[in-house]
Chain A
Amino acid sequence: MIFIFYIFLFLSIFFAFFGNIGMLRFPDVYTRLQASSKCATTSLLSLFIGLMIFKGFSSISVRILVIGIFFLLTSPVASHAIGRSAYEGGILPWRRVRKKEDISEDR
């Protein structure tokens, strides 16, 4: 049991680390947002699953479940809000090769 927990804990730290690295490396807001929010979600969820397995059925794991559900509801909304504000604020998405006619297609 504790072995599974360790695996999940390792996964969680791993994803958190790579989320941060991605956020620092990527070129524009949208890609940074992708890296950060996804990795954060995955890391937090794997942490919660690991802890719930570790603790079994107890009041702590029920509370962790509630936190997880709340987080699952709010996290995509927050990242959507940031992305939308950037999109409407006029920040163009970064692309590897940008041609003139593609700009109008993106908007």
Chain B
Amino acid sequence: MSVFVIASFCFLVTSLLSLIRIIIGPTAQDRLVGLNLIVPQVVAIMVLMAINFNRTIYLDVALVYAILGFISIIAITKYLKGKKLHE
């Protein structure tokens, strides 16, 4: 059990906390905040895992991940912006 595995485990546990926000968030924006917080934690786990596996190629996944989390959030907010909230 190396230190990287323990650290990534900690990040996983903290991302469980942000899952709660997705569950209870009263508005859609609150849920988006939860999503927005999950992305960097998962990137952190991925980077730690890549160091643990000791291969550079794994880091490409983290890069794709960082880019695409951004795009999905932009897509959802673009829809939210156009309309009044129902809640």
Would you call the interface of chain A mostly helix, strand, loop, or mixed? helix
Complex CA–CA separation, A29 to B31 (angstroms)? 10
Chain B window 20-38, contacts with chain A (Cβ cutoff 8 Å), 1 for yes, 0 for no: 1100000101101110110
- A32 contacts B63, C-beta separation under 8 Å: no
Given contacts A20-B14, A32-B33, contact A82 B43 (CB under 8 A): no
Nearest opposing residue in chain B for A34, CB measure:
B33
Chain B window 32-73, contacts with chain A (Cβ cutoff 8 Å), 1 for yes, 0 for no: 111011001101100110110000100110110011011001
- Interface bracket on A: 35 or more
Q: Determine how close the nearest CB of chain A comes to the CB of B48; give it in whole angstroms.
A: 8
* Cross-chain contact of A20 among B37, B77, B80 (Cβ < 8 A): B37
Q: Which of A57-106 contact B (CB under 8 A)?
A: 59-60, 63-64, 66-67, 70-71, 74-75, 77-79, 81-82, 84-86, 88-91
Most B CB atoms within 10 A — which of A33, A67, A77? A67
- B27 contacts A29, C-beta separation under 8 Å: yes
B10 at the interface (CB under 8 A from A): yes
- A71 contacts B43, C-beta separation under 8 Å: yes
- A86 contacts B29, C-beta separation under 8 Å: yes
Nearest opposing residue in chain A for B4, CB measure:
A9
- B29 contacts A78, C-beta separation under 8 Å: no
Given contacts A23-B34, A60-B51, A78-B70, contact A13 B7 (CB under 8 A): yes
Complex CA–CA separation, A86 to B73 (angstroms)? 13
11 more contacts with CB within 8 A, not counting A60-B50, A89-B81, are: A47-B44, A48-B47, A60-B59, A75-B70, A79-B36, A82-B36, A89-B80, A89-B84, A89-B85, A90-B85, A91-B27
10 pairs from A and B in contact (CB 8 Å cutoff): A13-B11, A16-B41, A20-B14, A29-B27, A36-B18, A41-B40, A44-B40, A63-B56, A85-B32, A91-B27
